Amino acid sequence: MTPQFIFLSGKGGVGKTSMACATAVRHADAGQRTLIITTDPAANLADVFEQPIGHHITPLEGIANLWAMEIDPDQATDEYKERALAPIRAVFPPQMVAVIDEQMSGPCTAEVAAFDRFTDFLVLDNEADQPVSFDVIVFDTAPTGHTIRLLELPAEWADTISTAEQGSGQTCIGPAAAIQSAKQKYERALALLRDESRTHFTFVLHPEAIAIAETQRAIAELGKLEIHTHELIINGVIPPEATANPLFAARAEMQAGYLVQIEREMPYPARQMFLLDGEINGIDRLRLVAGLLNGEEAVDFKANGRTPISQPPIQLTDPAELMPRITPNGRRRTLFFAGKGGVGKTVASCATAVWLARQGYKTLLLTTDPAAHLGSVLGEPVGDDPAPLAGLPHLWAVKIDPKATAAVYKKRILDDARQRGRPETAVKVMAEELDSPCTEEIAAFDRFIEFASAGDWEAVVFDTAPTGHTLRMLELPLEWSKQLDVKVFASVDTAAADDVAKQRFGDVIDMMRDPKRSTFAFVMYPESTPIIEAYRASQELAALDIPTGLAVANFIIPAEQANTPFTQARRAMQARYLADIQQRFDTPILAIPLLPYEVQGLDMLTELGQQMYGEPVFA
């Protein structure tokens, strides 16, 4: 049995999941036994198919030959640990098993565990767990930066395991001897990813500057891994029928230039998918999309559109009422903009930071997203250290680069150990433990803590990674504080530095829990999937006693633009979902209009900030 593997990836919010589901439906309808799997921590296959799925292979109702699975990071971690610890329990005393179990309880294990489960479907190591032998396996991947991180793991973990075998025999995911089989599995997985006869990568993108740049970067990164099979789905293209409206006519004109750029700069097989006047949910709708993608259906919005029942106008929050949640109040204000990929977090955070700086507040804007786009939106480069923006006093910007941050972090830990007189053998063990891909996650969070703890700023605005990865980062302090004892300093005495780090982590969590000092804003556009994802994430934050302070509804079609059947249908859909946002989130709602152009540069951000919050006091 030699199944074909199809990966769909791209920038958050470009429609990967919809296109992956439509692709899977297409293959299933052709009689091929098809499995679709998501590796996104914020999985929403169930939302698109409109039926429960979860962390197991589930046959889908209403269609033959199609199964689905949402890899749950927590369950994958438990399964991974059990597989690694089972043979150890048979030969080692309980005390040693307990130590190894504790070492594998850190946050870095989750990333590897999810990837380990993912590779099971590439190398078919767990065929006994599969209900059928599949002809096609479709992977709906996490947003691009995190997908590349996963695909790099086979090469890096093979090296990590080999190095550990030559040294202490210990890795941050357990003893090398206990996970030796993983080395062969990861090497086979990487070989399959490189096999152009078996594996195909489809990048989904919008005809917009940031999506194009991220796709080009991802293709280049895959090239470094010797993965070269690519094709494109250009999604969200404005249909001709919509251009009778001036707003969408302007957006179509903007897209036309980018379509030419894509054809010129990315000479890969490409298909286009029109923006529809309703959501893509359910088997029937997915079949329609599959037909459109393959040129077998024509767009007929009257026949195919799902025009929702009009809702009464929504009374959104007056900008003046937002001020207590946006501005400092005698102490530093920290704002977090989070949500599903592609909902407009970066633009919202940049416009907010520009507005705060123009109010006269000393403001730091930073991103923790590995696919950082701050520089593209701001119109000037953003580096690894805070730097002032030209032309705007009071505003500094910085990005947290995981790889660069990890190198600095490792050097600092090892230098500190040497300065405290630790024996070189202990330092060597620490270096082995730190020389692993999961150190990047810890290093990025450590850098995040550094900025969140600094007292130099009146306002700090975080443009965070997509939701699932943001929550992973915010849960780190609770897990990592104990890991300081068993991972980084596993071979040395507990140092005062441990207690200092734990105190810093605790202080930041206390800040996040205090609505007088921080505001967690979830950005979403008024459609089902981003709203559900934001709501789930807000509930997870509530479990950590972190309140949601603001809901941001983006891409709202202005009332005066609802003057064609296409725009009326989309605005009616938005009105219904704005009511849903009001019902789910007991917070003020900040509305951001759909604009006829991309927001780039300080002038546009200043104008947008004024629309969002009002005219700044200091122009």
Q: Where are the domains of the chain?
A: 4-237+271-299, 325-613
Q: Over pLDDT 70: what percentage of the chain?
A: 76
Q: Is the alpha carbon torsion for 88, 100, 402, 599 positive or negative?
A: positive
Strand partners for 523: 552
Cβ–Cβ < 8 Å for 200, 5: yes
For the ranges 162-176, 181-195, 327-341, the maximum mean pLDDT occurs at 327-341
pLDDT (tens digit per residue) in 338-348: 887 778 889 99
**pLDDT, averaged across the chain:** 79
Half-sphere exposure of 445 (CA within 13 A, CB side): 25
Q: For 120-260, list the strands marked E by DSSP.
A: 136-140, 170-171, 174-175, 199-205, 230-237
Query: Is the pLDDT confidence value at 483 over 70?
Result: no
> What is the predicted pLDDT for the residue at 90?
74
Cα distances (Å, whole numbers) of residue 65 to 36, 129, 619: 11, 17, 61
Determine the pLDDT at residue 320.
80
Q: Which of 75-79, 328-332, 544-548 has the lowest mean pLDDT?
A: 75-79
Confidence of residue 10 (pLDDT cuts 50, 70, 90): confident
Q: What is the pLDDT of residues 329-375, one digit of tens each?
A: 888 899 999 887 778 889 999 999 999 999 999 999 988 765 567 78
Confidence of residue 516 (pLDDT cuts 50, 70, 90): very high
Sheet with 363-367, side-by-side order of all strands: 387-388, 395-399, 363-367, 459-463, 333-338, 518-524, 550-556, 589-593
pLDDT at 416: 79
Q: What are phi and psi of 118, to 5 degrees?
A: -60, -45
**Does the model's pTM come out above 0.85?**
no
Higher pLDDT pick, 318 / 356? 356
Helix (H, G, I), strand (E, B) or coil at 229: coil
Domains 4-237+271-299 and 325-613 fall in the same CATH topology:
yes
More confident residue, 499 or 197: 197
Any idea which fold 4-237+271-299 has? Rossmann fold (3.40.50)
pLDDT (tens digit per residue) in 222-276? 888 888 878 999 999 999 988 989 999 999 999 999 999 999 999 999 999 999 9
Residue written as tokens 């202005």?
Answer: 558
Q: Which fold has domain 325-613?
A: Rossmann fold (3.40.50)
For residue 486, what is the DSSP state?
I
